[in-house]
Amino acid sequence: MSRRASRRWQVSSALCAAPVAVVSLFRAVPAPWPSPVVQLVAFTPWFALPAGAAFLLALPGRRPWTVLPAGALLALQLLWLFPPDRLADRLLAAQADPLQGGQQGAGQEAGTGQPPATELKVMTFNAWKGQADAAEVVRLVRENGVELLAVQELSPALERRLDAEGLGTLLPHRISRAVEGAGGGGVYSSRPIAPLDSVDGSAFHMPTVRMDLGPAPAGDPNGRPVSLDVTNVHTKAPVWGRAGQWRSELAALGRVAVRPGNVLLLGDFNATLDHAEFRRMLAGGEGGAGPAGPLVDAGAAALARLVPTWPQAGPPLPGVVIDHVVTSPQVRSYGYSVLPVVGSDHAAVLATLRVPAGG
């Protein structure tokens, strides 16, 4: 190959690698980046494509100083997408769990090697300022056997439409605050729920409720009841200079994570696993993990980071995962799925949880 041709390959590779290198720097350094950078980092998974192109374009030039950096950038993107520890956890869970769950707990359930637990099908979705189709929502709840539904951006009109479609028959217990715009929310349940508190300093109402899952399951020698503390999450989007508010809300959610017992945070976090703030929240915030360890993202545990939840409508952007089902580590999950909701720019996220006794 001529020197001129080799140079063209090198330049092409460098042009593909340059934006990947910039985004990788932002992703790797946990600094208080401004809003435009925070938004850019959310799209980190898509930069695996130009990273792959940079590596392939570097190969014909056969220059180590081009091939090796491009290969390192590609490896870094893949490492962030599929961390070896998460792959190992997934493999072990599939081998140990007859249900092929994405998380593992401690203790044993009689005859199965798993902890005594109550199963619970949960769903969360952002209704896009109440524009979601109520009939579609109720259909998803009915067909998927959803027992706990968290709705963000619940408007009074949408709440009435959901009632008219029969959601109250399927999920008769409710704690809601329906308002116009983006600030409303509601938790609907097939089992009794009681309000506990709300996340401090949040722009939108983020309540925590306690769900009573009944007496201890068979096989629990301690006879402990089962309960679950559920937080309906909707953080302020990190746009228009509001990254500071977004950070403080994720930090507050991290403090919720360190509570004892069974914890579930689900909703629109406006954050992905590529944000250091979200990863810090999973770790329990500045104070460290809770008694049972760091929280677990059910989607990441299911290796579904490339299954976007937003945007399903609206701006023509690459999809990202900003809606999450997050649990304390002893609450195992399986059956993770992402389903579109007519009328909303967010998809619904569903998972089945196995909630142990003693929460």
Domains along the sequence of the chain with CATH? 3-81 (no CATH), 84-356 (3.60.10.10)
Q: What pLDDT score was predicted for residue 32?
A: 96
Using pLDDT thresholds of 50, 70 and 90, give the confidence band for residue 6.
Answer: confident
Average pLDDT over residues 250-262: 91
Give CA separation, 313 vs 150, 153, 342, in Å.
20, 16, 9
Using pLDDT thresholds of 50, 70 and 90, give the confidence band for residue 104.
Answer: very low
Q: Which stretch, 19-23, 197-201, 217-221, 288-292, has highest mean pLDDT?
A: 19-23
pLDDT in tens, 336-347: 999 999 999 999
Task: State yes or no: pLDDT of 283 exceeds 70.
Answer: yes
Q: What pLDDT score was predicted for residue 96?
A: 47
Q: What pLDDT score was predicted for residue 105?
A: 39
Q: What pLDDT score was predicted for residue 216?
A: 67
Q: What pLDDT score was predicted for residue 301?
A: 92
Task: State yes or no: pLDDT of 222 exceeds 80.
Answer: no
Task: State yes or no: pLDDT of 218 exceeds 90.
Answer: no
What is the spatial distance between Cα 183 and Cα 201, in angstroms, rounded to a whole number? Answer: 14
Average pLDDT over residues 177-182: 96
Using pLDDT thresholds of 50, 70 and 90, give the confidence band for residue 13.
Answer: very high
Using pLDDT thresholds of 50, 70 and 90, give the confidence band for residue 7.
Answer: confident
Average pLDDT over residues 143-166: 98
Q: Which of 59-68, 193-202, 234-243 has the lowest mean pLDDT?
A: 59-68
Q: What pLDDT score was predicted for residue 288?
A: 62
Average pLDDT over residues 186-192: 97
Q: What pLDDT score was predicted for residue 86?
A: 64
pLDDT in tens, 115-154: 578 999 999 999 999 999 999 999 999 999 999 999 999 9
Neighbours of 314 (CB within 10 A): 11
| 3-class state of residue 124 by DSSP | strand
Percent of the chain with pLDDT over 90: 74
Task: State yes or no: pLDDT of 353 exceeds 80.
Answer: yes
Residue pair 193/230 in contact (Cβ under 8 Å)? The answer is yes
Average pLDDT score, the chain: 89
Q: Which of 23-32, 238-247, 280-289, 315-324 has the lowest mean pLDDT?
A: 280-289
Q: What pLDDT score was predicted for residue 111?
A: 45
Q: Which of 327, 328, 357, 335 is nearest to 110 (CA)?
A: 357
What is the strand order of the sheet 207-212 is part of? 193-198, 207-212, 227-234, 263-268, 323-327, 296-297
Q: Which of 260, 235, 61 is nearest to 71 (CA)?
A: 61
Using pLDDT thresholds of 50, 70 and 90, give the confidence band for residue 100.
Answer: very low
Task: State yes or no: pLDDT of 83 exceeds 90.
Answer: no
Length of the chain: 359
Q: What pLDDT score was predicted for residue 95?
A: 47
Q: What pLDDT score was predicted for residue 63?
A: 83
